[in-house]
Amino acid sequence: MNMHLKSASDLSSPIAQGMALAAEPRYTVPVGQISDVPYTIIVPESVSDAKVLWQADDAVSLNGASDQQITPATDAELILTVAPTKAGTYVLRGKLSGVSDGQPAAKSSFILIKAVSDAPKTASTTN
């Protein structure tokens, strides 16, 4: 997990110290079924107006914690629910944003979703 936190910080603004948006990088999910995809957020007490937003291709229905406000001093695992409509590989793009010391701060992350016809009923990580 620490590797993912480091890579996420490399893609983000320097003022966003202490913020984190991380997930396993790859999941295999079944086409036409709802699957849970967990991710982790960390928002320090010094960050206000924090919000997490995930976006996906039109072929992937996104629900769960895909667009919500986050309170300061949060360290939590949240769940996205994904339901791809056709087989393929899709990118979920996530952004955790907020205000730190009067300046905009953001962290970005992504998750690759491989949707297959014969996958197990739950999301599984892919090496």
Q: With bands split at pLDDT 50, 70 and 90, how would you rate the model's confidence at 1?
A: very low
Residue 121 lies in a domain: no
For residue 117, the SS3 value is coil
Residue 122 lies in a domain: no
- With a threshold of 0.75, does the pTM exceed it? yes
Q: Which residues pair with 52 in a beta bridge?
A: 68, 96
Residue 124 lies in a domain: no
Residue 78 lies in a domain: yes
CATH of the domain at 45: 2.60.40.10
Strands in 124-125's sheet, in edge-to-edge order, are 67-70, 47-55, 88-100, 103-116, 26-30, 124-125
Q: Within 10 Å of residue 28's Cβ, how many Cβ atoms?
A: 18
Q: How many domains does the chain have?
A: 1
Residue 126 lies in a domain: no
Q: State the Cα angle at 77 between 112 and 24, rounded to 5°.
A: 25
Residue 97 lies in a domain: yes
Residue 90 lies in a domain: yes
- Which structural domain, as residue segments, surrounds residue 9? 2-116
Span 70-91, mean pLDDT?
Answer: 94
